[in-house]
Chain A
């Protein structure tokens, strides 16, 4: 329970932290995309 009368502490993320989160997201999504593409290639190979 939050103490009454005391404002909640919300810190704005620093620019470097935001940049870092975006880069994390880029790498994670990039990895997933890469594996999906390799999987799709597996499907394409069936047609050879």
Chain B
């Protein structure tokens, strides 16, 4: 019965995504190639002094992106530090400096790691003017970078890759804002709260007093999921009944997380003029997602020990209204899309089950990944796969008619090295630095031994991949973790973007070479298999040693 439900849940999600694949993908392709600007867009360009027809080199594109993100970060930091003087602050004081930095970095970096309890820390002004704004802009930045790379692949002998300000504006106004508005209405109909009430004191039947929170949740929830952001309005995130009340809102939230990342391959196919290339990328994303969901569901359904066997499955940390399938589908989606929202506590998963969300992130967030970041992550892997295939079977290293030379391989290699370096360095320093180690062991880790190691590892994997989910057992609101994770988030977000935009510039400058008998076809099942294997092998080779110190040690010993 459980497996039938799993197949039905996955199947229904797949059907809806399949229906939306072409119209949404084509629409996004039109958004980023249209020559017409809406009146509101023209007004915005005038205000910020941008000529929408002026194309940018990849360096100028990068400079605009970095400047925009840095200013956004400082604004969110300032809003938090001035919270007590802002309206609708609910009487809450300003968060500490290190927490404000972590939160600002996290939301600007599309991570939404939360070291704090939102309803007890941030008022409505900071949540709406700071965090919700970044939910839109950080998602649009990711999409813009992906589109810039695709443009690079599609263009010939061009010195430019588009205009960052135009891509950003269109991503927000034409894609995210309309879809988020629609989604917020559906969520509100489904019972997600949407008001400006503070806490309401009520007396329970036993005579105790309970504080019921309110707030503009549905509007935040929509973009939290659609933009693969993940930061909850409440501490319990999507496990909170005011954020995710029922089984059908749970499935709807899963769809919101997946809809843009799974439609972007179509946009890619359209822009490079070969839809089969989009299907190949989509197939890799789909295969890895399905495998991960199946393994996680199997591990959680067969939890060892007295309590799981009496309950029929490992139900600790899971909501009764979602059950195993509703939880594992959400966890796979959330960690495969760099969203980081949770409707169950990953820390309470079985040892090997808890490793699966970690593995989803370690894959580099490509199953299907965050909005934009999933597509550009997989395209970088495709470049590596083409190169390796060329070495294995003697084909010329070309992708979509672009030569994969030493420069392209160096950039792809640097891209791939950033994330593991950040994860392993951050985790190692947390246990190696005197003073920090005492803080980690004495304050942050709730579970001693290898599970505690997994908690710290998970935190850095989540930060470096801009996911934002956490093993709930880790107390991260400390000066070290807030600062180290904040820096990890920023480097994990912007260093790869540097290499992707450099790749875009490099491809754009090239002419397209015609396909010959020596060219490796990149739209066939053979290449889909190769790309899947490359993604899994790279992850396994990089992270196997550290996994043996954490979840593998806990699960197999």
A in complex with B: yes
Contact A23 B410 (CB under 8 A): no
Asked if A34 and B59 sit within 8 Å, CB to CB, the answer is no
Contact A28 B74 (CB under 8 A): yes
Bound-complex Cα distance A27 to B78 (A): 11
CB pair B410–A39 under 8 Å, yes or no, is no
Taking a contact as CB atoms under 8 Å apart, the answer to whether A45 and B498 are in contact is yes
Residue of A nearest to B502 (CB): A45
List A residues at the B interface (Cβ < 8 Å).
20, 23-24, 26-28, 30-32, 34-35, 38-39, 41-43, 45-46, 48
Residues of B in contact, count (CB < 8 Å): 29
Given contact pairs A20-B97, A23-B97, A32-B70, A41 touches B59 in the complex (Cβ within 8 A): no
Interface residues of B in 404-426 (CB under 8 A from A): 407, 410-411
Known: A42-B59, A42-B62. A27 touches B101 (CB 8 A): yes
Select one of B73, B487, B490, B498 contacting A42, CB under 8 A. B498
- A48 near B407 (CB under 8 angstroms)? yes
How many A-B Cβ pairs are below 8 Å?
A: 61
Question: Which secondary structure characterizes the binding site on chain B?
Answer: helix
Identify whether the interface residues of A are mostly helix, strand, loop, or mixed: helix
Contact of A43 among B59, B81, B97, B105 (CB under 8 A): B59
Q: Could you write out 14 A-B pairs with CB less than 8 Å apart?
A: A26-B97, A27-B97, A30-B101, A31-B101, A31-B490, A34-B490, A35-B66, A38-B66, A38-B491, A39-B62, A42-B62, A42-B63, A42-B501, A48-B407
**Chain B residues with Cβ under 8 A from A31's Cβ?**
70, 73-74, 77, 101, 104-105, 490
Q: State in angstroms the CA–CA spacing of A46 and B81 once bound together.
A: 38
B69 close to chain A: CB less than 8 A: yes
Write the nearest CB–CB distance from B170 to chain A, whole angstroms: 24
Per-residue A-contact encoding for B445-464, CB less than 8 Å = 1, 0 else:
00000000000000000000
Which residues of B lie under 8 Å from residue A42 when comparing CB positions?
Answer: 59, 62-63, 66, 498, 501-502
B100 interface hit (Cβ, 8 Å): yes
Choose from B63, B81, B411, B487 the contact partner of A24 (Cβ within 8 Å): B81
Tell me, in angstroms, the Cα distance from A11 to B457 when the chains sit together. 46
